[in-house]
Chains A and B, each alone.
Chain A
Amino acid sequence: EVQLVESGGGLVKPGRSLRLSCAASGFTFSSYTMNWVRQAPGKGLEWVSSITPGSSYMYYADSVKGRFTISRDNGESSLYLQMNSLRLEDTAIYFCARDHGPWAARPLLSPDRLAPWGQGTLVTVSS
């Protein structure tokens, strides 16, 4: 069974840092682009960042560019999101999501539909 389990969320003050993790199992992690998507309380979905299987390409939403860094460890089947200079508006549930199709089956450097998703980890930025 494919599973994604996020961790690392919590309460943090503005300007501080937090690192999220996503542990993957049940599939060949090194074959898929991985993604972070967030959802502010009561709001819709916002794509945050994506990383290709070999970490050659990383993509970021403008709202987090320069503050967040996505990374992965294929040996550990883990995805990470280092979040620096956190702002009040970064408060959200952060979901880890896998590309639906493996990298080799996708058009070069194109995004994909997202499935499956983890259950999310809540990040609250507050003074």
Chain B
Amino acid sequence: EVVLTQFPDTLSVSPGERVTLSCRASQTFNNNLAWYQQKPGQAPRLLIYGVSTRATGVPARFLGSGSGTDFTLTISSLQSEDFAVYYCQQFDDWPITFGQGTRLEIK
């Protein structure tokens, strides 16, 4: 099973700042990694897949990168609607696994 560890658990940032979220895998896998955004009371929303491909309708300020065991999600200029919890997910092999999440808070 691929274990995904996200860090930090919580990030306090101000609107307009650039932020980088990290996701580290317990083993190397093909770049079948996705990022999701979840706001309170809502279902997760797919943001990025295949490491760096933005899902339909996702703003260009969301950038995914990485390879091997280390992956990052960068938000180039935080907007108020970006404050949420972000999860990484691997879909390289069964079982599907998620990271524990990183919460973005307003500073």
Give the B-binding residues of A (Cβ under 8 A): 35, 37, 44-47, 50, 59, 61-62, 95, 100, 110-120
Contacts and interface: CB of A to CB of B under 8 A. Distances in A.
Interface string B20-38: 0000000000001010101
Contact of B98 (A46, A62, A112, A119): A46
A111 B92 CA distance: 7
A118 B87 contact: no
B43 interface: yes
13 contacts: A37-B44, A45-B87, A46-B98, A50-B96, A61-B95, A100-B55, A110-B32, A113-B49, A113-B91, A114-B36, A114-B46, A115-B46, A117-B45
Contacts of A112: 91
A47 B49 contact: no
A114 B98 CA distance: 12
B84 to A, nearest CB: 13
Contacts, number: 65
Contacts of B32: 110-111, 113
Central interface residue in B87, B98, B101, by most chain A CB within 10 Å: B98
A107 B55 CA distance: 19
B89 interface: yes
Contacts of A113: 32, 34, 46, 49, 89, 91
Nearest to B42: A119
B91 A110 contact: yes
B89 A120 contact: no
A10 B72 CA distance: 38
Contact of B101 (A44, A110, A116): A44
A117 B18 CA distance: 28
A65 to B, nearest CB: 10
B23 to A, nearest CB: 12
A45 B42 CA distance: 13
B65 interface: no
